[in-house]
Amino acid sequence: MKKILVVGAGGQIGSELVPYARKIYGNANVVAADFNESKCKILAESGPFEKLDALDGKAFHEIVKKHKIDAIYNLVALLSATGEKDPAFAWKVNMGALENSLEIARQEGCAVFTPSSIGAFGPSTPADNTPQDTIMQPTTIYGVCKVSGELWSNYYHSRFGVDTRSVRFPGIISNVTLPGGGTTDYAVEIFYEAIKKQQYTCNLAKGTFLDMMYMPDALKACIDLMEADPTKLIHRNSFNVTAMSFDPEIIATEIHKHIPEFRMDYKVDEVKQRIANSWPNSLDDRCAKEEWGWKPTYNLAAMTLDMLEKVQEKLDKGLI
């Protein structure tokens, strides 16, 4: 059975990708790694865990050798709004973790999955139905890292034959671990506030359309792409994927259908708004559909229903 290492396992995607992958590959075959042990207590109970600073190449390499890893899922990243606070640090973390992943993969014969993002696009990109192959001139350090990472990963594939694959994730909506420092975080926070207070103050303006995806679809995208037949892949780093596109008014209206007393007002965060304005409104994900069968399950209505149920359960159990 394939052995997988998830680096950054305690984050929003990692905390759900590890259990999802353990169901597929077996608990013992999916190693969770993160520098923050306390965020990984639950993951460490159901399978192997390693404390790892992904910037420490020697320690990273030792773990890959020790567990005879076949595929590295590198989920280490400072998100867009956090990145703007200290761009040099964001570059160091985001690119450092990728450099180690690629180099170790080259030496040990591993495959590498690293998510890219809608943040890889910029204001000169066509905003509607954004093509797979188009202008990519991002104006955030997060986006600069993502475009560089895409190119670097393709280089490792063409130059060294490393099996690198990636998707450009939109905002990911989830109910296990909160995202932090992202521009799309509002689409998660709105559910927690709707359940707890029936009120939400949105930090992006009305009319700000962004692509989004519910976590179960995001997890499926990661594994399906990594399991796809390589002979069918024309692209590698990185595929446009999306499940829905909405602005704050549209998601608020959907929540309102279930919580009639829900109200939303606005207090725009200038940094996040500037970032959101530079990103596409909606992606064209036909290449992912054609090359590896990408097909999301959750639309806005289905995602909203499930989110409200799950967040209510957390409130009932006193977890939030």
**Minimum distance between the CB of residue 80 and ligand SER, rounded to whole angstroms?**
3
169 interacts with ligand SER by CB under 6 A: yes
CA dist 195 and 314 (Å) reads 10
- One of 10, 47, 48, 171 touching ligand SER (CB under 6 A): 171
Q: How far apart are CA 178 and CA 278, in angstroms?
A: 24
CA distances from 244 to 172, 217, 285, 301 (A): 11, 11, 11, 10
* Cβ 83 to ligand SER shortest distance, Å: 8
Torsion of CA 232, 227, 60, 78, to 10 degrees: 80
- The H or E element containing residue 281 is none
25 is catalytic: no
| Nearer of residues 119 and 248 to ligand SER, judged by Cβ | 119
The residue number with the shortest CB distance to ligand SER is 182
Smallest gap, in angstroms, from Cβ of residue 171 to ligand SER? 5
CB 285: neighbour CB atoms within 10 A? 24
121 DSSP 8-state letter: -
In whole angstroms, how close is the CB of 212 to ligand SER at the nearest point? 9
Least separation in angstroms between CB 181 and ligand SER: 7
Residues 58-87 that bind ligand SER (CB under 6 A): 79-80
Q: What is the DSSP letter of 200?
A: E
Residue 170 to residue 279: CA distance in whole angstroms: 10
Which one among 8, 119, 149, 296 touches ligand SER, defined by CB under 6 A? Answer: 119
CA dist., res. 31 & res. 25, Å (int): 11
Q: Give the nearer residue to ligand SER in terms of CB position, either 18 or 79.
A: 79
Distance of CA 251 to the CA centre of its chain: 20
Regarding 97 and contact with ligand SER (CB under 6 A), the answer is: no
Residue carrying structure tokens 């109970």: 45
* Binding of ligand SER by 183 (CB under 6 A): yes
By the rule CB under 6 A, 174 interacts with ligand SER: no
Edge-first strand order for the sheet with 4-7 is: 49-51, 30-34, 4-7, 71-74, 111-113, 164-165
**Complex with ligand SER: residue 32 or 210, whichever CB lies closer:** 210
- Axis crossing angle, helix 186-197 with helix 248-258, rounded to the nearest 10: 30
Contact letters (x/-) for ligand SER, 133-152, by CB under 6 A? ---------x----------
Is 242 a residue that touches ligand SER (CB under 6 A)?
no
Q: Any contact of residue 120 with ligand SER (CB under 6 A)?
A: no
Q: Which of 20, 142, 156, 214 is catalytic?
A: 142
Residues that bind ligand SER (CB under 6 A): 79-80, 117-119, 142, 169, 171, 182-184
Residues that are catalytic? 142
